[in-house]
């Protein structure tokens, strides 16, 4: 059996960021993923500038061979009423394609990669975690997304009365005819809130790629909501009428509602495995990256990997994202004070949609990028 300092399960943004930080500090890490890369991930592919800054991504280098859509405006509305369009005056966010972005982050990792390898067994013997009976380490990190096998190991995971966000999305490259017919613009993502305020849909053009989706905190009639939205967008010319492919679905947790334990003896959860996505927007890449950087710092400073030594991770997550028990806001759902009929008027207000919906709820502009020297 091969022995490592740490084993990271999942090579998405959380897993690759943590592995990169640990290897930079001289740790011998194994990163495992069930798929080979590049791989697709169901996602709108919208990242805030804080993500690129924390990762030290050279924007000009990145966009040389990959899609990086600059965003400077947003089109926002409630379904069934006219939207408003706000110009932020400069680039406030970016669109990426997950198949490119995740592969780029993993390419920067020099550690041993065991791809195309599902984690099937996790046991612990004499303080060492053993994975698939082949690799062992005193520290195991769960970065395997919502269905992470490490989360199940510490009593967390799907089926534990968790309230999940259910979302469906399609991304495809437009033909010249589709691109011409599509009125959605690259620099202006569109956010459309459901009439019952329990979720929102998006139309997100990234260069020649188009991403359309809808997420709701309850799974109730997700497909019906999506079909009605798509029909409406086709009729108004926002999207081409001949969409190829199938919408793919995925579930994940929002921070304010997740109840997953974040750690135990010799084990930590990061990213979606820990249920960290922002409650109001569902943005999960930034919390995935930031939790990985926080975890790396705690791991490197811990005297050992006992639960009490790793407890600092849980404290720092609360300091950064707030205390879960105190979070009263419903996910993918606007706060209680914003209810019909006032919601319809507020969603027509340029001030409200720009200052509150985009700059506060979606861009988190008041929270500076995490810059941890690890």
Ligand X SMILES: Cc1cc2nc3c(=O)[nH]c(=O)nc-3n(C[C@H](O)[C@H](O)[C@H](O)COP(=O)(O)OP(=O)(O)OC[C@H]3O[C@@H](n4cnc5c(N)ncnc54)[C@H](O)[C@@H]3O)c2cc1C
What residue ranges bind ligand X (CB under 6 A)? 9-15, 32-35, 41-47, 118-119, 143-145, 147-149, 167, 169, 213, 215, 250, 252, 271-273, 277, 282-286, 288
DSSP for 297-345 reads: HHHHH-SS-SHHHHHHHHHHHHHHH--GGG--PPTTS--TTS-TTHHHH
Distance CA 292, CA 13 (A): 9
DSSP 60: H
Task: State how far the alpha carbon of 81 is from the alpha carbons of 84, 133, 344, in Å.
Answer: 10, 57, 8
Question: Toward ligand X, which CB reaches closer, 157 or 240?
Answer: 157
Task: Give me the least distance between CB of 164 and ligand X, in Å please.
Answer: 10
Nearer to ligand X, 138 or 282 (CB): 282
Query: C-beta of 10: minimal distance to ligand X in Å?
Result: 3
Q: Answer whether 30's CB lies under 8 Å from 163's CB.
A: no
Q: Which is nearer to ligand X, 11 or 347 (CB)?
A: 11
With CB atoms as reference, the residue minimizing the distance to ligand X is: 284
Integer-rounded Cα Rg, in Å, for the chain is 21
User: Which lies closer to ligand X via its Cβ, residue 53 or residue 180?
Assistant: 53
Q: In the complex with ligand X, which residue's Cβ is closer, 45 or 157?
A: 45
Which CB, 11 or 310, lies closer to ligand X?
Answer: 11
> Min. distance of Cβ 264 from ligand X in angstroms?
18
Give the Cβ contact number of residue 72 at 10 Å. Answer: 14
The first and second tokens of residue 35, run together, are 């798929």
179 phi-psi bin (left φ>0, alpha ψ -120 to 50, beta other): alpha
Indicate the angle between helix axes 285-301 and 13-24, nearest 10 degrees: 30
* Residue 152 parent element (H or E): helix 149-153
Cα angle 263, 267, 269 (rounded to 5 degrees) comes to 55
How far apart are CB 20 and ligand X at their closest, in Å? Answer: 13
Q: Among residues 143 and 197, whose Cβ is nearest to ligand X?
A: 143
Q: Considering the complex, what minimum distance in angstroms separates the CB of residue 5 from ligand X?
A: 19
Min. distance of Cβ 118 from ligand X in angstroms? 4
- Minimum separation from the CB atom of position 272 to ligand X (A): 4
């Amino acid at each position: 059996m091969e022995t490592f300092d740490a084993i990271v399960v999942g090579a998405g943004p959380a897993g690759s960021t943590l592995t990169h930080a640990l290897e930079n500090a001289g740790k011998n890490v194994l990163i495992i993923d069930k798929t080979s890369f590049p791989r697709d991930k169901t996602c709108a592919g919208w990242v805030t500038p804080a993500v690129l800054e924390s990762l030290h991504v050279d924007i000009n280098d990145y966009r040389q061979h990959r899609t990086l859509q600059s965003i400077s405006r947003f089109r926002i509305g409630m379904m069934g009423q006219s939207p408003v369009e706000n110009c932020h005056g400069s680039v406030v966010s970016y669109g990426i394609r997950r198949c490119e972005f995740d592969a780029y982050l993993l390419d920067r990792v020099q550690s041993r990669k065991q791809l195309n390898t599902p984690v099937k067994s996790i046991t612990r013997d004499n303080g060492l975690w053993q994975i698939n009976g082949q690799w062992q380490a005193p520290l195991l990190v769960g970065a395997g997304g919502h269905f992470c096998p490490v989360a199940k190991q510490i009593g967390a995971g799907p089926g534990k009365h968790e309230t999940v966000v259910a979302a469906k999305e399609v991304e495809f490259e437009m033909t010249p005819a589709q691109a011409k017919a599509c009125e959605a613009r690259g620099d202006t993502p569109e956010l459309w809130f459901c009439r019952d305020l329990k979720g929102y849909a998006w139309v997100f053009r990234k260069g020649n790629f188009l991403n359309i989706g809808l997420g709701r905190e309850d799974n109730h009639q997700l497909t019906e909501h999506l079909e009605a939205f798509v029909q409406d967008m086709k009729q108004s010319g926002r999207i081409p009428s001949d969409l190829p492919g199938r919408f793919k679905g995925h579930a994940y947790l929002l921070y304010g509602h997740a109840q997953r334990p974040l750690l135990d003896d010799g084990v930590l959860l990061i990213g979606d495995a820990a249920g960290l996505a922002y409650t109001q927007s569902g943005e999960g890449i930034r919390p995935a990256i930031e939790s990985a950087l926080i975890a790396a710092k705690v791991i490197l400073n811990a005297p050992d990997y006992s639960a009490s030594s790793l407890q600092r991770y849980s404290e720092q997550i609360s300091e950064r994202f707030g205390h879960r028990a105190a979070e009263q806001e419903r996910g993918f759902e606007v706060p209680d004070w914003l209810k019909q009929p006032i919601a319809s008027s507020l969603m027509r207000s340029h001030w409200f949609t720009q200052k509150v919906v985009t700059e506060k709820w979606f861009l988190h502009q008041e929270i500076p990028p995490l810059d941890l020297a690890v």
